[in-house]
Chain A
Amino acid sequence: MVTLKTQIIGTWTLLKKELLRFWRVVFQTVAAPVISGILYLLIFSHVLDSRLEVYEGVPYAAFLIPGLIMMSLLQNAFSNSSSSLIQAKVMGNIVFLLLTPLSYLQLFFAFIVASIARGIFVGFCIYLIAITYIDLPIEHPWFLFLFAMLGGGLMGAFGIIAGVWCDRFDQMAAFGNFVIMPLSMLSGVFYSIHSLPVSWQGVSQLNPFFYMIDGFRFGFFGQSDVSPYFSLGVVALFFIVLSFITIRMLKSGFKLRN
C-alpha cells in the first residue's frame, strides 16, 4: 500500500498545498514584502548613493540590492513555514496532516521547499524591479543559487521550529520581532561590516545572517567582507544543524502529537 509512488504523491500534494496557500494571499505574502524592499532601496539609495561607496566601483544603490533581496528571501522563507504551522495549530486543522501517513521527512521536505520557493519568488521580484533602474552585474551565478537555496532552506527549517514550538500568534510575533528582525537588520544589508568598530565586527560575525548576505552579495560583485567559501561553509553548517533539530522535532511529535 505504501509505495514510492504514494509517497511522492503525498509529498507533492503537501508542497502544492503550501505553495497555493501563500499564492492565495499573494498581496500579503509577495506584494507587501516586495514593496517594503523597494521602499528601503528607494529611500536609502536616494539618501546615501552620492555619499557612500562600500565596494570600489560599486554604487551604494547597487551594493544595497543583494542585501535587500537576501533579507526579503530569508524573512519570507521563515514566514512561510512558521505561519503555515502556527495557523494550522491554532485553527486545529493540523490534525488533517497528522492523521495522514506522511512521514516526518516528507513533512520536512515539503515545508522546506515551499519556504525556499516563496523566499526566492519574493527576492526575484525585488531583483526584477531593481534592475529596471540600477545596473547589477552577476559575477558568480552559482553562488547566488547556492546561497539562495541554503539560506531559504535554513530559514524554512527555522520557521518549522518556531511554528512547532509556538502555541500562540503573539509568541510567533515575538519570534519575528525579537529574533528574525534584529538578526536580519544587523547583518550587513545596509553596510559593510568593515565600516563598524572592531568589537562590533566580531559581534556581526556571530550572526549567521551576515554570512548569507555577504556570500549572496559575492555572487553579484565578486567582492565580499569574508571569504565566500567560508560563508558557504557556515551557512551549510547552520542549515544542517537546524535541519537536524527540525527533523528530530517532527519525528518525536514534539508539541504536535500528544
Chain B
Amino acid sequence: MKPAIVYRNIKKNYGSVNAVNGISLSIPQGEFFGLLGPNGAGKSTMINMLGGLASPTSGKISVMGMDVHSNYQEARHLVGIVPQELVFDPFFNVREMLRFQAGYFGKGRENDKWVDEVIDRLDLRDKANTNMRKLSGGMKRRALIAQALVHRPPVIVLDEPTAGVDVELRQKLWGFIKELNKEGHTIVLTTHYLEEAETLCNSVAMLRLGKIVALDTTRNLLKKFSTKNLMLRLNFMSKKELPKSVEKFSYVESDGAFIFQLKKITDISHITEALKKSKIEIIDMQTVDTDLENVFLKLTGAK
C-alpha cells in the first residue's frame, strides 16, 4: 500500500529564510498523524506545499503516489485541507458553498446526498441555508471542515482546526475526526494543544526551524523521554532553606512548588525522609508523569 503522504528532501526558502530545511517524511495510510512545532517551525508551509498553495524550492511531495506538482489534479482529488484562518465566501450560504466546492472537484448533483450528510454530521443543519457572514466563529470552523470533506478525500489535513474553538465544540470536532479516521481516512493535524495530539495521534513529527527534531509513534516518544517527577508544596517558599541532603536531587521551582526529577522510585522516600529530619512540613505531594508537552519543550527548545 502506497503511503498517504511522502515528503522527500523538501526545502522551501522565502528569500534568505529557510522555512523548511530538508524534510523527509512518510505518513502511512490510515494514520492519525500530528505535526507539532512552535510558530515558524514550518508546519503551515509543509501543508501549503502539499495543497499546491506554495511550491517547494527543491524536493518532491506525493499524495498516495501522485506527485503534487506533475500530477496535481489527481493529487488534489486525494486530499482535503482545512486552512488555519477562518476564511469564507460572503456571497453564499453554507449549502451553496459546499456544493460549489464539491463541483470544483467534478462532483455533480449525485454528490448532494453526501453534502447533506456532512452538514448533518457537523451539526450544521440549522445553518445550512444561512449566509457564511452570519455564522459564529465555531460554525464557520465547522463549515471549513465540511468544505474539506465534500469531495470525499482519503487524506484530510487540518491546520490548527481547534484554534479559538470552545471546549464543547472542540470535543465534538475531535469525535467527528476520530470517526473519519476509523472509517479509513488518513488524518494529518497541526495543533498547539499538545494534549490533543497526545490523545488523538498515533504518530507525531516535531518540527523546529524547518527541521524534524523527532519523528516516532506518540507512545515511543513518551517512553523515550519518560521521566517521573515529584511535586511537593512545603511550608516555606525559598529553596535556600532546603536541606543539603535534598538539594543533591535535580529540581525546579514552579508556582511555589518544588518539582524533583526522580531517577528511581525510591528517591521519593529519600527526599521525604530528608525533609522530615529537617522538620520541614509537606503540605501537598503529587507524582507527575511526562506528557507530550514536556517532550515537545525538550526537543524544540520552546519555553
Q: Which residues of A contact B90 (CB under 8 A)?
A: 91
B90-112 vs A, Cβ < 8 Å mask (1 yes, 0 no) = 11100010001101111110000
Name B's interface SS: loop
| Residue A17 lies at the interface, judged by CB distance under 8 Å to chain B | yes
B128-148 vs A, Cβ < 8 Å mask (1 yes, 0 no) = 000000000000000000010
| Residue A51 lies at the interface, judged by CB distance under 8 Å to chain B | no
User: Known: A93-B88, A99-B76. Contact between A5 and B51, CB under 8 A?
Assistant: no
Q: Are B105 and A10 in contact (CB under 8 A)?
A: yes
Contact with A21, one of B55, B72, B91 (Cβ below 8 angstroms): B91
Q: How far is the CA of A214 from the CA of B96 in the complex (A)?
A: 42
Choose among A1, A2, A96 the residue with the greatest number of B CB atoms under 10 Å from its CB. A96
Using CB atoms, name the residue of chain A closest to B75. A101
A54-66 vs B, Cβ < 8 Å mask (1 yes, 0 no) = 0000000000000
User: Known: A9-B103, A257-B53, A257-B55. Contact between A101 and B89, CB under 8 A?
Assistant: no
Q: How far is the CA of A91 from the CA of B92 in the complex (A)?
A: 14
A71-110 vs B, Cβ < 8 Å mask (1 yes, 0 no) = 0000000000000000010011101111111110000000
Q: Which residues of B contact A258 (CB under 8 A)?
A: 53-55
Q: Are A10 and B74 in contact (CB under 8 A)?
A: no
Contact with A20, one of B72, B83, B91, B147 (Cβ below 8 angstroms): B91
Size category, B interface: 20 to 34
A sample of 26 cross-chain residue pairs with beta-carbon separation below 8 angstroms, ordered by A number, consists of: A1-B74, A1-B77, A2-B106, A9-B108, A10-B103, A12-B103, A13-B100, A13-B104, A17-B92, A20-B91, A24-B91, A93-B88, A95-B51, A95-B83, A95-B87, A96-B87, A96-B89, A96-B104, A98-B52, A99-B52, A99-B53, A101-B76, A101-B104, A257-B53, A257-B54, A258-B53
Q: Give the B-binding residues of A (Cβ under 8 A).
A: 1-3, 5-7, 9-10, 12-14, 16-17, 20-21, 24-25, 88, 91-93, 95-103, 253, 257-258
